[in-house]
Amino acid sequence: MAVRDTRIAATRIRAGEAVIPVNACANRDPSVFAGAETLDLARRPNPHLAFGFGVHHCSGAAFARLQLQVALRVLTRNCPQLRLAATLEALRCRRDFAFRALESLPVTW
Ligand code: HEM
């Protein structure tokens, strides 16, 4: 909630109005990321907001990263032939205001 009249970029916000940041959009901001629509796992620097920012930065971030590393390592070790079982065009994102996620990811191995 804005405690006083202010402005963010070109948008005027009055005291008492709510502002809902959408991290999923921020992470594709072309003024921050070169090739913002491209999945680039080696992007450096990578100031994404997936784990939030500042004092409320996700306190489980290191745990979440470790979980994903273990899960992906085990998955690719056990299913070395793992591959997509759909065309990229057929993949659909969930209609979710806050998080970007696929409705499903068909795979085969
Ligand atoms: C990929 C997995 C995860 C993502 C994308 C994620 C994302 C986030 C984000 C965006 C915030 C900031 C919310 C805000 O600004 O209001 C947050 C906060 C938080 N997360 Fe996570 N999180 C993940 C996993 C976890 C895990 C595994 C834990 C605990 C084991 C955890 C515990 C927390 C806590 C306690 C906060 C609140 C921190 C605070 O407000 O001081 N998160 N998370």
Q: What is the pLDDT of residues 18-75, one digit of tens each?
A: 998 887 788 999 999 999 999 898 999 999 998 998 999 999 999 999 999 999 999 9
72 with 29, same domain: the answer is no
Distance from the alpha carbon of residue 81 to the mean position of ligand 1, in angstroms: 33
- 43 and 63 fall within a common domain: no
Q: Whole-model pTM?
A: 0.81
How many separate helices (H) and strands (E) can be counted in the chain?
2, 4
Domain match, 44 and 64 both: no
Domain that holds residue 106: 59-109
66 and 103 in a single domain? The answer is yes
Same domain as 101, residue 64: yes
Residue 7: strand pairing partners: 12
Domains contained in the chain, number: 2
Residues touching ligand 1 (Cβ under 6 Å) are 23, 50-52, 56, 58-60, 63-64
Alpha carbon separation from 22 to 99, 103, 106 (Å, rounded): 8, 19, 27
* 42 and 64 housed in the same domain: no
Question: Which residue has the CA at smallest separation from atom 28 of ligand 1?
Answer: 60
With CA atoms as reference, report the closest residue to 96 among 28, 39, 24. Answer: 24
* Cβ neighbours around 109 below 10 Å, total: 11
Whether residues 75 and 107 fall in one domain: yes
pLDDT at position 68, please? 96
